[in-house]
Copies of this chain bind each other. A is one copy, B any other.
Amino acid sequence: MSLNITKLDTASADFQQQLKSLLAWDESDDLEIQHRVLDIIADVRKRGDAAVIDCTNHFDKRSVSSALDLELPKEALLSAWQSLPVDQAQALQVAADRIRAYAEHQKLQPWQFTEADGTVLGQKITPLERVGLYVPGGKAAYPSSVLMNAIPAKVAGVGELIMVVPTPRGETNALVLAAAYLAGVDRVFTIGGAQAIAALAYGTDTIPAVAKIVGPGNIYVATAKKLVFGQVGIDMIAGPSEILIICDGKTNPDWIAMDLFSQAEHDENAQAILISDDADYLLAVEQSIHTLLPTMERADIIKTSLTTRGAFIKVANLMEAAEVASNIAPEHLELSVEDPEALCQHIRHAGAIFMGRYTAEALGDYCAGPNHVLPTSSTARYSSPLGVYDFQKRTSLINCSPAGADNLGKIASVLARGESLTAHARSAEYRIK
């Protein structure tokens, strides 16, 4: 199985232009999909449960007659958990414990301080009251994703976590339900698509409205999430998965080839890039790819991904590698080098950094602890991994003493009059002694 992977070199005059073409990813907004999703949302807002039932029967080929049948009984989660093979149950449990332990470090804490005149300023932290978790059905249903989305919400103190998961033809996924049990999901509805997002955003008689919706989904789900944003909060809209590996040429090339495969196997649009200052090493990894590819279950997907979106980039030195990586702002960044701590100092943008030859990105996907929901498509320039902080919010607190109000009132009065907002000014002036 031969495979042609794009080769770039920072020494080329047109490197920046070539890199830009390689990274280009424009999930063009499909107007037709938008209109279909808008119709579904409008229908759910208008007809509630009846619309959700109609969509579910139509799209998921089911024959539900009562909205009550859309909810899975809690016992279904428990029995899914109890029916797991012991090795899977143990692995899920360890992963959940580690995700929870890491998440505990992310909890926002309230704070306040008192000024000399007795005025108190601070910030209050409150968890979101109710959150919706979308879980895709079928082959893209990953129990690890349930843990990664649900556990930070529960650590934040979210009161009620509502999971929705489509069950085409009524088929449930035992691993997903077991993960939901383990993560402490409160209620599960077997609905999906834009109708599930609309139901969570606006609520129906049966499905309670939430404050925020998280979790991955197909283009209909992503479009619906964008369209209900404002009514509820949403997490990011994820693009294709990405890995960028910087290697100094001293890691076993088979390891690096397999790390590249581990992103490429996600889907044809996934992007796997290797950067090295060692040209011979790039050849060695290419050889490993050729040798290993035929042994992979998802060889076709991997081949398409690596051929159309993958690349090897030759750099002059590791500092240049850090610069190129920062400009790419990848979702996953492996620093497979001798001194990853030193190199890490020079990375400005990445979703997660996997340091050292032993830290395979796949460890982070499942059980290292940090979240696997990460900013894609260069959005690590301005956004962060999913975390406990996404399920908490801040409220500013101001408690002026009479002396503080006297001081601040004089300042506010001048500024408010400068902006011609005299009610503001007079409101402040009432509090001046």
Contacts and interface: CB of A to CB of B under 8 A. Distances in A.
Interface of A: 87-88, 90-92, 94-95, 102, 105-106, 111, 113, 119-121, 123-124, 126, 128-129, 139, 142-144, 175, 211-212, 230, 232-233, 237, 252, 254-255, 258-259, 261-262, 264-266, 296-298, 302, 340-341, 344, 347-356, 358-371, 374, 377, 379-385, 387, 389, 393-402, 404-405, 408-412, 414-416, 418-428, 430-431
A334 to B, nearest CB: 10
A259 B419 contact: no
B405 A144 contact: no
A27 to B, nearest CB: 9
Contacts of A175: 418-419
A252 B352 CA distance: 55
A350 B125 CA distance: 11
Contacts of A111: 105
B393 A360 contact: no
Given A353-B397, A368-B400, A381-B128, A363 B408 contact: yes
A105 B396 CA distance: 12
A419 B414 CA distance: 64
B419 A379 contact: no
Nearest to A393: B384
Q: Which 10 A-B pairs have the closest CB atoms?
A: A233-B382, A370-B396, A358-B405, A261-B423, A355-B399, A352-B396, A384-B394, A91-B414, A362-B424, A366-B412
Contact of A356 (B211, B266, B400): B400
Nearest to A302: B423
A428 B362 contact: yes
A207 to B, nearest CB: 17
A394 B400 contact: no
B354 A398 contact: yes
Nearest to A381: B211
A381 B87 contact: no
A128 B349 CA distance: 9
Nearest to A131: B382
7 contacts: A87-B414, A88-B418, A105-B111, A123-B370, A358-B402, A360-B409, A363-B405
Contact of A423 (B119, B265, B411): B265
A254 B425 CA distance: 14
B416 A362 contact: yes
Contacts of A128: 381-382
B411 A94 contact: yes
Residue from A120, A254, A265, A266 having most chain B Cβ neighbours under 10 A: A265
